[in-house]
Structures are given as C-alpha cells and as structure tokens.
Amino acid sequence: MSYYLKALLIFTIVSFSSAACMQAQDLDIKEPNLAPDFKLWDLNQNTFTLSSYKGKQAVLLFFWTTWCPFCRSELKLLNQMYPELVNDGLEVSAINVGEHVYKVVNFIRSYQLNYRVLLDTDTKVAHSFEVLGVPTYVLVGKKGNIVFTGHTFPKDTYKDLIQK
C-alpha cells in the first residue's frame, strides 16, 4: 500500500473517531427536552392536559394504532404492568394516532384496558412528539422533560427516569 493511501486511511479513521466522540459529547451536554403541552379527549369525553402533571408526577405516553400488531402486544403488557406503574408514581395514557373514535371504541372493548385511552384524531400530538412509527413510548419525567422515547417499554430503567 502506498504512503498516500495509508495516510488517507489513517486520516479517515481519525476523522470518524473524532466525529463520533464529538457527537457523544454533544449528547451529554444537551439540555433535557421539555415535553410539548397538549390537551386531548379520552374515550369518556374527559380532557387530559399534560402540563397539569408537571411538578407532580411522571407520565407515560404510549402512541398506538388499532392496525399495528406490535401495539396490541404492548397494550396487553401495559395492562399487566399498570398496577405496578401506578404504584411507582406514573400516570399512564395510551394515545391512539389518527383513527376514528368508533374504530377505537370497538377495538378497546375486547381489551378492557385499565388505563386512559386518548384520541389524537388529527395526529397533531404525535407530530409534536416527533413520533416516527407505532408503537412509541414517551416517558415525561416529573419536571416535564422527555426522559425516554422508544418502541419498547424501558422495564429496567423507567424507575430511575421518572424522577427527572
């Protein structure tokens, strides 16, 4: 291998390593993301306002649809875990994204969920949280910051995250 190729290869490796380190440092420095406030109706026509929980309790938002098979298994998981989550100080709300009320009501009848189901019929809330697919979990800490976003529930870390 020529001297110039070796030099180019070393330069490329060092450049990518430096960029990766800088990105990792940027992640550590970032301020927590304040969760966008919203107001939605639940299936019982009660309003849910996210900001009413700020400073009081952490909120787990679960974005889902009726047609998503992974959402169905996560809805069941949340239903099983609900007593423990409430005991740990979490408010749990499942946010249906973009579907008609009648479709959600018919779907939910067979699941008998213990937690609140909210309706984001125009998908504005999902967009404000930058949801890129379902299922998506968003954990908002007590201070109103988004402390977790992912497609699976953070079973091992959620207790530490809810205090933020």
Residues 157-161, mean pLDDT to the nearest whole number: 90
Confidence of residue 141 (pLDDT cuts 50, 70, 90): very high
- Is the pLDDT at 144 greater than 80? The verdict is yes
Burial class (CB in 10 A: 0-12, 13-18, 19+), 144: buried
Quote the CA–CA distance of 57 and 8 in Å, as a whole number: 54
Provide the mean pLDDT of the chain.
85
33-161, what's its fold?
A: Glutaredoxin (3.40.30)
Q: Give the SS3 label for residue 35.
A: coil
Residue 10 in this model has a pLDDT that exceeds 80:
no
pLDDT-derived band of residue 164, with 50, 70 and 90 as boundaries? confident
Provide the residue ranges of all domains of the chain, joining segments of one domain with +: 1-30, 33-161
What pLDDT shows up at residue 163?
76
Distances (CA, A) of 136 to 7, 41, 68, 99, 153: 45, 19, 11, 16, 9
Cα dihedral 62, 70, 127, 150 sign: positive
Measured CA to CA, the distance from residue 7 to residue 5 in angstroms comes to: 5
Report, in this order, helix, strand and coil percent for the chain, each rounded to 5: 40, 25, 35
Residue 84: CB atoms within 10 A of its CB come to 10
